[in-house]
């Protein structure tokens, strides 16, 4: 049986964790996925010049450290640097 997550609660925590790590001026948007999973889009200057592998590694490290076991609620992250907009 699939785990269902509390999207409203965890989405807010995800945004707090990401803002704490990447600054208050990042742009973050979340959408609800299957069973309350969280899909994240984030734009931050911290990602300028980084390739996709590096951006994903950086973000997932932050998510896992900030959310612990609840990081399983995040199922998709799209990250963009300001230089990509």
Number of domains the chain contains: 1
* pLDDT tens for each residue of 19-54: 999 999 999 999 999 999 999 999 999 999 999 999
Q: What is the domain range of residue 45? A: 7-84
Instruction: Decide if 2 is inside a domain.
Output: no
Instruction: Decide if 1 is inside a domain.
Output: no
Mean of pLDDT over the chain:
96
Whether residue 1 is predicted with pLDDT greater than 80 in this model: the reply is no
The pLDDT, as a whole number, for residue 2 is 84
Instruction: In whole angstroms, give the CA distance from residue 38 to residue 65.
Output: 17
Query: What is the pLDDT averaged over residues 70-76?
Result: 97
Stated pTM of the model? 0.92
Instruction: Decide if 42 is inside a domain.
Output: yes
> What is the Cα 36 distance to its own chain's centre?
14
Instruction: In whole angstroms, give the CA distance from residue 14 to residue 84.
Output: 23
Instruction: In whole angstroms, give the CA distance from residue 24 to residue 36.
Output: 25
């Amino acid at each position: 049986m699939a785990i269902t997550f509390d999207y409203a609660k965890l989405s807010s925590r995800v945004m707090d964790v990401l803002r704490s790590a990447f600054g208050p001026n990042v742009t973050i948007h979340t959408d609800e996925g299957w069973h309350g999973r969280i899909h994240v889009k984030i734009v931050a200057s911290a990602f300028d010049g980084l390739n996709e592998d590096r951006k994903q590694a950086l973000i997932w490290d932050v998510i896992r450290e900030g959310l612990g076991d609840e990081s399983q609620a995040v199922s998709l992250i799209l990250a963009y640097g300001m230089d990509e907009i």
